[in-house]
Structure 1
Amino acid sequence: MNKLILISGCSGGGKSTLLEALKARGYHVVEEPGRRVVEAEQARGGEALPWRDMEAFLRRTLALAIEDFEAARALAGPVFFDRGIIDALSGLQQLTGRAPEDAARRYRYAEAVFLAPPWPEIYETDSARKHGLDEAVAEYDRLAVAYPEFGYRTQILPKAPVADRVDHILSTLQLG
């Protein structure tokens, strides 16, 4: 079984909270690359931000997601990712009409990808997430198509309390 497990889906759909809960249960987690790129760019006054230079942002996010993937290979046991390589590739494909698809073939996560659906009741913006719910839903719709196109089987996460979502993932993966 591939131990690199991806959680993707709608921006503001509770992925980061879910990863925190998995970490609290002792699992390795990898924080969202895009959010880390935004934080680094804001700290240094950079331009590779989704609201300034989306292509530069996506290329940095892709590079960081590949670094994360490589680093996670050395960890024992399952590793849960908050977004990953396919998210960045899908965004680049939509934006530019092309993306380095060889990365999708070279870096494979576990076949089952968990998608957090749009959840308006918990959606919030912040300094790193300035887009509205409509844009988040459009992103979700794009990813729901992209993951199967790249050979992944998607599992929609229930809109449920965090502990129930964690139990759902662990049960699906036969880890808990």
Structure 2
Amino acid sequence: MSAVPGDAPGRFVVLTGCSGGGKSTVLAELARRGHAVVAEPGRRVVQAQMLAYGRALPWLDLAAFLHHVIDVARDDLASAPASGWVFFDRGLIDAAVALAHLQGTPLQETLEHAPRFYRRVFVAPPWPEIYVQDDARRHDLASANAEYERLRAAYPALGYTLTPLPKTGVAERSDFILATLRADNAGMH
């Protein structure tokens, strides 16, 4: 078992990138291996809004949707496990980037008082061969690619290092993430 940084923000690892790029599948594999994972807040908001016949959906009221996602993401950070790596499927920064794009809300305003995530962020590149639309993901691949480019610009501007996930199988992607974190941690000692 590899050592894990002791402070909470250093333990919070984000998987971001292109919608439909396989992030949730990798998170499911990391959970299967016993790691703490936090599901994508946007999907959870869509699911809750659809069940409640709400209007805070990206295709009905994007601003309201993003504010709900930000609230859920903040709750996720506050209730994250107290030890070990915690892997986030998107989260607060992704929602802040979307809100900045939509309304011009400065990233720092949305991210104020939020803990920092681990310095390395894993990013899923566009992968047209696996991209699928569904009830919760109604946007097309072109929109997903535009979002991906905004995220690729925003994370480094916030001081994070992006590491692309290889376009390989789920087990290999999970192995890659864990090996990269072990190597980072070994370099800290």
State the superposition RMSD in angstroms: 1.4
Looking at structure 2, the residues matched to 21 and 131 of structure 1 have their Cα atoms a distance apart, in angstroms, of 25
Looking at structure 2, the residues matched to 58 and 122 of structure 1 have their Cα atoms a distance apart, in angstroms, of 25
User: Which digits, 9 at most, give the CA deviation of each residue in 1:75-129, with x for residues without a partner?
Assistant: 3211100001110110010000114624435321101000000000000011100
Gaps of 5+ in 2: 184-189
Contact conserved, 2:156 with 2:162, CA < 8 A, in 1? Answer: yes
Contact conserved, 1:31 with 1:81, CA < 8 A, in 2? Answer: yes
Letter in 2 for 1:109: F
Q: CA deviation at 1:44?
A: 0.3
Q: Give the fraction of aligned pairs with identical amino acids, expressed as a percent.
A: 49
Looking at structure 2, the residues matched to 130 and 99 of structure 1 have their Cα atoms a distance apart, in angstroms, of 26
Are positions 1:91 and 2:98 aligned together?
yes
Change (3 A) 1:168 1:100: closer
Q: How does 1:24-103 map to 2 (within 5 A)?
A: 24-72=32-80, 74-99=81-106, 101-103=108-110
Looking at structure 1, the residues matched to 111 and 152 of structure 2 have their Cα atoms a distance apart, in angstroms, of 16
Change (3 A) 1:100 1:134: closer
Aligned-partner SS, 1:145: helix
Q: How many residues align?
A: 175
Q: How does 1:5-24 map to 2 (within 5 A)?
A: 5-24=13-32
Looking at structure 2, the residues matched to 112 and 122 of structure 1 have their Cα atoms a distance apart, in angstroms, of 25
Find the partner of 2:181 among 158, 173, 176. Answer: 173
| Counterpart position of 1:139 | 147
Change (3 A) 1:40 1:99: farther
Contact conserved, 1:47 with 1:53, CA < 8 A, in 2? Answer: yes
Q: TM-score, normalization: structure 2?
A: 0.89
Aligned-partner SS, 2:138: coil
Contact conserved, 1:5 with 1:112, CA < 8 A, in 2? Answer: yes
Looking at structure 2, the residues matched to 103 and 174 of structure 1 have their Cα atoms a distance apart, in angstroms, of 31
Contact conserved, 2:97 with 2:107, CA < 8 A, in 1? Answer: no
Larger Rg: 2
Looking at structure 2, the residues matched to 12 and 171 of structure 1 have their Cα atoms a distance apart, in angstroms, of 24
Looking at structure 2, the residues matched to 155 and 105 of structure 1 have their Cα atoms a distance apart, in angstroms, of 25
Letter in 2 for 1:7: L
